[in-house]
Structures are given as structure tokens and as C-alpha cells.
Amino acid sequence: MTGTDMAARTDQGRARQRLDRAVAGPDGDGAGAGGGRPTGDLGMATAEYAVATLAAVGFAGLLFTVLRSGEVQGLLLELVRRALGSV
């Protein structure tokens, strides 16, 4: 193993120790920067963002479909005509 490999492993080990301390808190009670979550749940935020993003895309697709329908376009057009006609 070269000196560069050893330095990289040492840096990774130190980063992991800092992360463990941040999650555990100064007293080791789980009340650190990780919000009290166990170390095994660190990836949950990513999964939650993915689910929220998929839900937002689904809602946007539904909204697009509704707004493209003839009835809704007619209602919106009438609304704009009334607003511009009253000016």
C-alpha cells in the first residue's frame, strides 16, 4: 500500500468518526446534528426527497392534463375575457 492510499484511508476513517460523533451527540445519547436518528437511517432523507419529487411530478402531470381539457380551457378563456372586459 502506498503512502497516498494510507492517507486516503486515514482521512476516510477520520471523516467517519466525525460523522458518528455528530449523529451520536457529545454525550453519545443520539441527540447530535443528525436529529437523534440512528446511524442506519442516514440515507432516509434521500429516499424521502425522491418520493416527494415523484409525487410532485405526478401532480404536475395531472394538473397539465386537466388544464389541457377543453372545458377548463373554455372556463379560463372566459375568465380572462371578463377580467379584460371590465378594465
Q: What is the mean pLDDT of each run of 10 residues along the chain (87 residues)?
A: 64 74 60 54 76 96 92 92 86
User: In Å, what is the CA distance from 24 to each residue of 18, 20, 38, 61, 79?
Assistant: 10, 6, 8, 42, 57
pTM over 0.85: no
Assess whether 4 and 22 both reside in one domain. yes
Q: What residues have CB less than 8 Å from 38, skipping those under 6 apart?
A: 23, 30
Assess whether 36 and 48 both reside in one domain. no
Residue 28 pLDDT:
55
Residue 64 pLDDT:
93
Assess whether 50 and 76 both reside in one domain. yes
Tally of domains in the chain: 2
Assess whether 60 and 33 both reside in one domain. no
At 48, the amino acid letter reads: E
Assess whether 38 and 48 both reside in one domain. no
Assess whether 36 and 47 both reside in one domain. no
Q: In which residue are the cell numbers 418520493 written?
A: 51
Sign of CA dihedral 24, 30, 32, 38: positive
Assess whether 22 and 48 both reside in one domain. no
Q: In which residue are the cell numbers 486516503 written?
A: 8
Host domain of residue 56: 43-87
